[in-house]
Structure 1
Amino acid sequence: MADFRSDTVTRPTAGMRQAMAQAEVGDDVFGDDPTVNALEARVAELFGHEAALFCPTGTMANQIALQLLVPPGGELLAGADSHVVSYELGAAAALGGISTRTWPSVGADLDVDAIAAMIRPAGYPSNPTRAIAVEQTHNLGGGTIVGLPALRAIRALGLPVHCDGARIWHAHVADQVPLDTYGPLFDTVSVCLSKGLGAPVGSLVIGSADKIARARVLRKRMGGGMRQVGILAAAGLHALDHHLERLAEDHARADRLAAAIGGTSRTNIVLKQVGDAPAVVAKAAEEGVLIAAMLPTLIRVITHLDVTDDDVDHAAGVLSAVI
């Protein structure tokens, strides 16, 4: 099988497994794991922030960040098809008491004036807007990138801003925007190690030292306090050393696949409108190609570390025929 369902399906490389096996570890709940500490310090520095916190999942990292910015009963503005709204099982409301209001689904194309008009000021009995969340790159937008002018305009609105940066590494490589240019535009950032970078587990919340101290409490409350987790942090460090710049290879393969099937791609995600997405997914699987149905008429194909040129050629032929 050639697996294009997601970039989360990657498996640790031999070099990554060796780094994990040799990792120096301690008890991270006590702050004693040197490999975790090294990963957190490195990622914080990359984004120009003071501190970072290693978390087991991207959803936990996002929800911790949102609770840092929005008190219970406060409102978050986000895109209607953003991950924090549509793919985290209502966690903002269930765990943080956060209400959400959304702007129309336009992927990475943000209408900043329309977002500004949605902001509710504080004052009884309104529910004041406390923060804005953006997604970089945008999953259901087809891996599209929010441009710096739009991000700077969002920053200028004066509210705290969270970036769901699960795939921000792709934006960095595709547009050559330094990570420490992105970082200061946001009060909190979540980044994922287990998608394009190919680590088996892990995301980080990035922010000020004060916010990350509070984040550590929230992580423990959510059940995310881990012990000798340097074994996993070592995979993240290896990924930063060896798998970051190679993301350009995934982009090139996605472009080639998009051209072959008449889809759209900006980074490593290919979207294609079809008549019956579940039927296309099922038929492609019969031919050895795994893809995802995101909507009844929308398929998603993602390139990643474990996808080869031969896999792309095979998928292009299969999907062209099936579609």
Structure 2
Amino acid sequence: MLIDLRSDTITQPTPAMREAMFTAPLGDDVLGDDPTVNALEAKAAAMFGMEAALFCASGTMTNQLAIRIHTRPGDDVICDYLSHVYQYEGGGISVNALASVSLAHGERGKLTPALVRDYIYSPADSHKPLSRLVVLENTVNKGGGCFYTIPEIAAIRKLCDEQGLQLHLDGARLFNALVETGEPTTAYGQLFDSISICLSKGLGCPVGSLLLGKADFIRQARRYRKLMGGGWRQAGFLAAAGIYALDHQVDRLKQDHVRARRIGAMLERLPAVEEILPIDTNIVIFRLPETILAADYVQQLETNGIRGIAFGKHQVRFVTHLDFTDEQLTEMEARLK
């Protein structure tokens, strides 16, 4: 039995999801007449209280589209140095938007109003770029799956309004945060100018993310998606998976969080584990002593049929997901002894 905890992106569509995919009515999404894509976009927009949505191939694409539209060449984007938009999107902010980045150092990747304020440049200073956009990530991948609450976001929104800044959410694992807080999705639509949500992580879809925002913003995003080569034709096959996931696979994320905490309890007993970041959702990050390289440790785990990812020189990450079962959890405990 292979236990694969490299990421929640490795999940396979369930039989019911596959059935929904292969029975979906199709059209040409570039021409705007794929009924299943249109239904997914309308569903997601309504869920978050936004005017419109755009179905894209990846969260990187939706984030980069948002940054491109919110900024102009030479503007500045404020985010945490652990943010996915900075760490894992191929330098897209500089390539796609021709914007610079100010990197804050928050607690486990989370920004606060005070931190954001420290990185806002005076528009009167011609030596500096114009601060234009703040990007939050929820949950924070490199922060071990920690999350913002609505009051925390509202405080940052207030500052953005005062300073004339736009606010974008990289919500790749937003539903993991929502099942923990119980907060309504519509509250997010009231706080952000744009939201990216990923369907291919904990929700178990084979591919796809959604960008949400005002109607005019999404019209611009559709144009830039085409420019990036992101237009697709009979995408309803994939959109049907997204509709199924939003209807059936959100609440079950709580199971992933419970299993992640059980893994944390296992790791506490291992002498090679020096520190475990607090486990808030489905991400488990632990630190090894300086005498053990994460790459070597991950290779050793693989020989025992357990897959993780080296998440730094001495850090390892596990991510629980739809295809990680209680049976595998029990087997993992036996192998880690």
Q: TM-score, normalised by structure 1?
A: 0.96
AA matched with 2:194: T
CA contact (8 A) 1:40 1:54 kept: yes
Matched, 1:165 2:176: no
CA contact (8 A) 1:110 1:146 kept: no
SS at match of 1:312: helix
> Aligned equivalents of 1:302 and 1:67: distance in 2?
30
Partner of 1:214: 220
Matched, 1:29 2:23: no
> Aligned equivalents of 1:260 and 1:237: distance in 2?
36
Matched, 1:294 2:311: yes
Matched, 1:249 2:255: yes
> Aligned equivalents of 1:272 and 1:183: distance in 2?
34
Q: Select 1:305's aligned residue among 305, 319, 322.
A: 322
SS at match of 1:156: helix
What's the offset of the Cα at 1:59? 0.4
What's the offset of the Cα at 1:142? 0.6
Partner of 2:273: none
Partner of 2:300: 283
SS at match of 2:200: coil
AA matched with 1:267: T
> Aligned equivalents of 2:57 and 2:302: distance in 1?
30
What's the offset of the Cα at 1:313? 2.3
> Aligned equivalents of 2:326 and 2:180: distance in 1?
19
Correspondence list, 1:1-323, <5 A? 1-123=2-124, 124-157=126-159, 158=161, 159-262=165-268, 263=276, 264-275=278-289, 276-319=293-336, 321=337
AA matched with 1:307: F
> Aligned equivalents of 2:304 and 2:241: distance in 1?
33
AA matched with 1:11: Q
What's the offset of the Cα at 1:280? 1.3
What's the offset of the Cα at 1:318? 3.2
What's the offset of the Cα at 1:104? 1.0
> Which segment drifts farther, 114-123 or 196-205?
114-123
Structure 2, unaligned runs of 5 or more: 269-275
Paired positions, count:
320
> Aligned equivalents of 2:209 and 2:254: distance in 1?
21
SS at match of 2:311: strand
Q: 1:109 to 1:92 in 2, by over 3 A?
A: closer
Structure 1, unaligned runs of 5 or more: none
SS at match of 2:135: strand
What's the offset of the Cα at 1:105? 4.7
What's the offset of the Cα at 1:185? 1.0
Q: What is the root-mean-square deviation in Å for CA atoms of aligned residues? A: 1.2
Identity of aligned residues (%): 44
AA matched with 1:269: I
> Aligned equivalents of 1:135 and 1:152: distance in 2?
14
CA contact (8 A) 1:261 1:316 kept: no
> Aligned equivalents of 1:7 and 1:170: distance in 2?
11
CA contact (8 A) 1:108 1:137 kept: no
1:42-66 Cα shifts (integer Å, max 9, x gaps) = 0011111000000001100100011
CA contact (8 A) 2:257 2:320 kept: yes
> Aligned equivalents of 1:205 and 1:110: distance in 2?
22
AA matched with 1:272: F
CA contact (8 A) 1:281 1:290 kept: yes
> Aligned equivalents of 2:111 and 2:287: distance in 1?
22
